[in-house]
Amino acid sequence: MIITQTERDVKIKQTSKNLQNEASVQTKGCKMKAYIIRQMSIVIILLSSCSLTLQAAIKDAESATHGDNAASYQIVDTYEFDGFKLIQINLPVLSHYSYFLVSDNKVLVVDPGRDIDFYINLIKEQSLSVAGVFLTHSHADFVAGHMEMVKAFNCPIYQSAKSNAKYKIEPIADGTTIQVGQAKVQFLDTPGHVVDGTSAIVFSPGKTQPELILTGDYLFVGGVGRPDLVTGTTSSALAGMLFDTWKDKISKLPDSVKVFPAHGAGSLCGANLKDSPSSTIGEERTSNPYLLHTIRAEFITTVLSDLQEPPQYFGYNAAMNRNGPELVDWQKPIESVNASEALTDSAKFYVADIRDAKDFASGHIPGSINIGVRGRFEAWTGIMVPWGSNLILCGDGNDFKEAVHRLHRVGYTAKTISYNVWQQANLPQLKNNPIAPQQLYKQMASENSPVVVDVRLPNEWMGLRIGTVLNLPLNHLSDLSAKLDKTQPVVTVCNSAYRSSMAIGVLERKGFANVTSMAGGSEAWVQAGLPVYGAETKNISTSAAKKVIPLPERISADELKRMIMDTPGTFDLVDIRPAEHFKDYSLPGSTNVEIAELIGNQAYLTGAGPLIIVDRDGSLAMAAAGILSQKTQRPVKALYGGLEKYWQDNGMDLGSTPKTPQQTAPSKPMPSSPTEQKPQTPKKKSAGC
Contact 109, 158 (CB under 8 A): no
**Can you give the three-state secondary structure of 289-336, one letter per residue?**
CCCCCCCHHHHHHHHHCCCCCCCCHHHHHHHHHHHCCCCCCCCCCCCE
Please give the pLDDT value at position 306.
Answer: 63
Architecture of domain 537-656: 3-Layer(aba) Sandwich (3.40)
| pLDDT tens-place string over residues 200-213 | 999 999 999 999 99
63-316 belongs to CATH 3.60.15.10: yes
Question: What is the mean predicted confidence (pLDDT) over 413-441?
Answer: 97
- 537-656: same fold as 437-527? yes
Minimum mean pLDDT among 219-233, 246-260, 396-410: which range?
Answer: 219-233
- DSSP 8-class letter at 466: S
- Give the class (CATH, top level) of 329-424: alpha beta
Q: Select from 155, 183, 158 the least CA-distant residue to 172.
A: 158
| pLDDT tens-place string over residues 562-577 | 888 878 888 899 999 9
Q: Is the pLDDT of residue 541 over 50?
A: no
Q: Is the pLDDT of residue 659 over 50?
A: no
| pLDDT tens-place string over residues 144-189 | 999 999 999 999 999 999 999 999 999 999 999 999 999 999 999 9
Q: Is the pLDDT of residue 465 over 60?
A: yes
Whole-number percent of the chain with pLDDT over 90: 64
Please give the pLDDT value at position 129.
Answer: 99
Q: Select from 331, 689, 626 the least CA-distant residue to 493.
A: 689
| pLDDT tens-place string over residues 397-411 | 889 999 999 999 999
Please give the pLDDT value at position 145.
Answer: 98
Please give the pLDDT value at position 28.
Answer: 44
Quick one: CA dihedral 135, 140, 141, 144, positive or negative? positive
pLDDT band of residue 463 (cuts 50, 70, 90) is confident
pLDDT band of residue 35 (cuts 50, 70, 90) is very low
Provide the residue ranges of all domains of the chain, joining segments of one domain with +: 5-52, 63-316, 329-424, 437-527, 537-656
Q: Is the pLDDT of residue 540 over 50?
A: no
pLDDT band of residue 667 (cuts 50, 70, 90) is very low
This prediction has a pTM of 0.71
**Cα gap 431→365, rounded to integer Å:** 9
**Cα gap 240→233, rounded to integer Å:** 11
Which residues lie below 8 Å from residue 227, measured CB to CB, with a gap of 6+? Answer: 192, 193, 235, 236, 238, 239, 241, 242, 303, 304
Question: What is the mean predicted confidence (pLDDT) over 573-585?
Answer: 89
Architecture of domain 437-527: 3-Layer(aba) Sandwich (3.40)
Question: What is the mean predicted confidence (pLDDT) over 288-315?
Answer: 90
567 burial (CB, 10 Å; 0-12 / 13-18 / 19+) is buried
**Cα gap 59→266, rounded to integer Å:** 11
Q: Is the pLDDT of residue 41 over 80?
A: no
Minimum mean pLDDT among 45-49, 108-112, 219-223, 370-374: which range?
Answer: 45-49
Minimum mean pLDDT among 128-132, 195-199, 646-650: which range?
Answer: 646-650
Please give the pLDDT value at position 5.
Answer: 38
What is the DSSP pairing of strand 106-110 with strand 129-134?
parallel
Please give the pLDDT value at position 229.
Answer: 87
Please give the pLDDT value at position 96.
Answer: 97
Minimum mean pLDDT among 8-17, 570-579, 627-636: which range?
Answer: 8-17
Please give the pLDDT value at position 424.
Answer: 97
Q: Is the pLDDT of residue 13 over 70?
A: no
Whole-number percent of the chain with pLDDT over 70: 81
Q: Is the pLDDT of residue 111 over 60?
A: yes
Burial 484-513 (b: 16+ CB within 10 A, else e): beeeebbbbbbbbbbbbbbbbbbbbbbebe
Q: Is the pLDDT of residue 117 over 80?
A: yes
Please give the pLDDT value at position 116.
Answer: 98
pLDDT band of residue 440 (cuts 50, 70, 90) is very high
**Ranges 19-33, 226-240, 263-277, 675-689, most confident:** 263-277
- DSSP 8-class letter at 73: -
**Cα gap 627→631, rounded to integer Å:** 7
Question: What is the mean predicted confidence (pLDDT) over 429-448?
Answer: 95
Please give the pLDDT value at position 544.
Answer: 40
Q: Is the pLDDT of residue 43 over 80?
A: no
Question: What is the mean predicted confidence (pLDDT) over 350-363?
Answer: 97
Please give the pLDDT value at position 4.
Answer: 36
pLDDT band of residue 67 (cuts 50, 70, 90) is low
- DSSP 8-class letter at 658: P
> What Cα–Cα distance (Å) separates residue 280 from each residue in 59, 261, 284, 522?
22, 11, 6, 36
